[in-house]
Amino acid sequence: DGYEQLRQLSQNAMKGVIRVKFVNDLGVDEAGIDQDGVFKEFLEEIIKKVFDPALNLFKTTSGDERLYPSPTSYIHENYLQLFEFVGKMLGKAVYEGIVVDVPFASFFLSQLLGHHHSVFYSSVDELPSLDSEFYKNLTSIKRYDGDISDLGLTLSYDEDVMGQLVCHELVPGGKTIPVTNENK
């Protein structure tokens, strides 16, 4: 298993040549054309698997389907080690000059680069890249001309997290604070 063997390599070992051997379902070694090509194929397969949203390490944004770490990645007992492994594989790809197609969400890239203004977003302008529908609803509320309290909203929002409805308060006690024209 590539994960088990590669995750234990030191930084110096990651800089060296990594030999890869594919084994078929019958346990027989598959022939590779050249070591670099076999490693590149191996790396591409790993990256394809770890960024698959079905694995639940990463999620995709609504609309443009950009990747960001899944808030529920903790369901994997070893999720921190898995993220470290992902980082090592991306680092190895960069080190070896292998181009990989990993479309990260702009707000996540901003966080990685340290351009953050809050825990969750670099700015409100990046919210559409996470959830365009949520952003549209928030801006509609902000621009609403009528009495917003008629809508019965609170300073909270609900999210489906792995089949369970979770309430997120926008301010402490937000689920009991009605949205008014003054606080919208």
Residue that has been written with the tokens 């549209």 in this structure: 136
Using 50, 70 and 90 to split pLDDT, how confident is the model at 34? low
DSSP 51-102: T-GGGSSEEE-TTT--EEE-TTGGGSTTHHHHHHHHHHHHHHHHHHT-----
Residue 164 vs residue 177, higher pLDDT: 177
Domain ranges for the chain: 2-104, 147-184
Write down the CATH superfamily of domain 2-104.
Answer: Hect, E3 ligase catalytic domains (3.90.1750.10)
User: Do 92 and 17 meet the contact criterion of CB atoms below 8 Å apart?
Assistant: no
Whether the Cβ atoms of residue 73 and residue 57 lie closer than 8 Å to each other: yes
pLDDT: is 114 or 95 the higher one? 95
pTM over 0.75: no
